[in-house]
Structure 1
């Protein structure tokens, strides 16, 4: 598997990253450790988590994913040196008062969250520390428009960068990144870093898949010109692009028992639960089958091969799913298939934005 450099940092990661938000909710610790073992065996050196995981977020499972990973690292002392470990500080509370008190995200919040993540992960350094969502009020998680009247920002980007810079200087963080960010946010973080001699963001982790290509609506040019790498999350559209919802009667709340979307009420109300997203996903899935591919192969090959993507984050609930996703690496899409993908997008646009 190819390795890529993340932005202007010295981090070299595989083109596929193991996402872990299911650990501690859908996936118990024993299975999670088996997935981590297998991922490392297959050469994946990039691991992504967050302080707020497991998902769906609950007070009882806050920090559970990092704890599970920390326990695995403690059992496998040689693994830490082989891995690029990424985690995230949660942005302002989105109905999660257990993350922190208040609605903002202060510089001290960033420092405190980092310290807590280091403890749970049982490591001395986080390789890539990301802001999970902006402190500003921006369109995200299914919100379509920016509304200035809802802006409640209390901590400037400069203050956030200053806090992150202190963590880098202390050796607790190697590189920094953003997530669920806008072109404005990326530009401002880079501009202020260069102006004040602070760490430059290496990455942005945003959704990117066949039913959500909003990255290509200007953010891709921003990242390309500023030398910031894209980490694509939800490449399978929260399961819609695997084909498991293609049978009539598996929409939304009626999804098969055990399927990820069936247990996520908030998700069904957001982008992945929109009827238009399922309709578009079924068109892509049919395209895959018509060309001798599984829906999973088509969706992952799309992300794995796009110039915009540095590393694709895959989330799994079993070793078998992990193997299926990794086996799709190396799949190429013909010019005919790519043209048909663009034709469907022209008609369906980005229903899961």
Structure 2
């Protein structure tokens, strides 16, 4: 249980790399001090070079790409999920992100299928080499099927335990490496809502009580580390303060949206809060391609037979913020930047996220193997991006800021 989780690689622990691992396992360098490590995945032939980064204050060494899973069970079959998992594994990706809710869009008939698909695949892999990150639902009075006895899902002791027990059963394992709160128990502006509306305030589960519930599961060996998602600076600071004041588990990660189209929320002040010299909390960025928008495929409004299967067309109203006219203008501008530098828009978008100093790992999901291969291959773009490319990106950013707002 206490062993270091590493990527599925054949590595020697001698030399500088081994010294880093032994030093970090013994309470050595912080994330800021520990250099990023570049190694090659063992595959035939070797296709991908990935970096591995220490996640916050944990001993989890994770690949800079996290495999996203939220379409499995809705748009993808179990066999397709296994194909994606095996391909990602062969490329050196060692962390999987999922949720008790998945697949998305949420519905009672499919809830939990994603974790089941992962569980059947895990039977063929060494458990201590795969980093499992899943999430417990935040406050919800709409999804009444989530809990057996309560109509409202809350981030309290009873709900957290029920969620964890369900996830462990679906995975078929005895512990979760990273358990995240999917969204806060309290009211916050979420999923396209930009401004905080004080009139929507509601009583919420105290931060200390939430951490005490997680502490019990950690002490029982069912959870190793905890993190948050869709969180604000206020929430992160409250969790950090509660952990320090009451000697409770500290959050090690934050999973928020971050991409060329969604930057301000994280860059304005969460970067400072999460910096290794302050909170030391690793960013697991979701929607690095902005729901597929940064592939460029939604620039043309024409709905063809093939495009009917695209996520934003398949589920009307879902992620509608990415279909605004201003978003299309911004995407076209970034597309021109990519062309100017002989890159695809996918390469530009993913390399941009990859190169942020505060990035622990980008969460990449796909509905097809073709998409997955393209997304992972984008990490072969020479690093870091040139100053000229960065300047061109900033020029577009100054024009559009966050166009989804």
Q: Give the TM-score taking structure 2 as reference length.
A: 0.83
Q: CA deviation at 1:246?
A: 2.3
Residues 118-129 of structure 1 aligned to structure 2 (within 5 Å): 118-129=168-179
Q: CA deviation at 1:103?
A: 5.2
The structure with more radius of gyration:
2
Residues 106-185 of structure 1 aligned to structure 2 (within 5 Å): 106-185=156-235
SS in 2 for 1:256: helix
Unaligned residue ranges in structure 1 (runs of 5+): none
Residues 264-303 of structure 1 aligned to structure 2 (within 5 Å): 264-269=315-320, 271-303=321-353
Note if 1:229 corresponds to 2:282: yes
Q: Distance in 2 between matches of 1:254 and 1:218?
A: 43
Q: Deviations over 1:51-93 (max 9, x none)?
A: 000011111111110011111112x1x3422211100001111
Unaligned residue ranges in structure 2 (runs of 5+): 1-49
Q: Distance in 2 between matches of 1:310 and 1:129?
A: 16
Q: Distance in 2 between matches of 1:127 and 1:293?
A: 36
Structure with more of its chain in helix, by fraction: 1
Q: Decide which of 67, 73, 82 is 1:33's aligned counterpart.
A: 82
Question: 229-238 or 329-338: which moved more?
Answer: 329-338
Q: CA deviation at 1:319?
A: 2.1
Note if 1:18 corresponds to 2:67: yes
Q: CA deviation at 1:268?
A: 4.2
Note if 1:201 corresponds to 2:248: no
Aligned Cα RMSD in Å?
1.7
Q: CA deviation at 1:110?
A: 0.7
Q: Distance in 1 between matches of 2:180 and 2:311?
A: 25
SS in 1 for 2:308: coil
The change in CA–CA distance for 1:232 and 1:264 in structure 2 (over 3 A counts) is same
- Asked whether the 8 Å contact 2:146–2:153 carries over to 1, the reply is no
SS in 2 for 1:204: strand
Q: Deviations over 1:262-290 (max 9, x none)?
A: 12223243x22332222212211221112
Q: Distance in 1 between matches of 2:376 and 2:203?
A: 40
Q: CA deviation at 1:195?
A: 0.8
Q: Decide which of 296, 300, 313 is 1:247's aligned counterpart.
A: 300
Q: Distance in 1 between matches of 2:305 and 2:105?
A: 18
Aligned residues: 348
- Asked whether the 8 Å contact 2:256–2:285 carries over to 1, the reply is yes
The change in CA–CA distance for 1:22 and 1:341 in structure 2 (over 3 A counts) is same
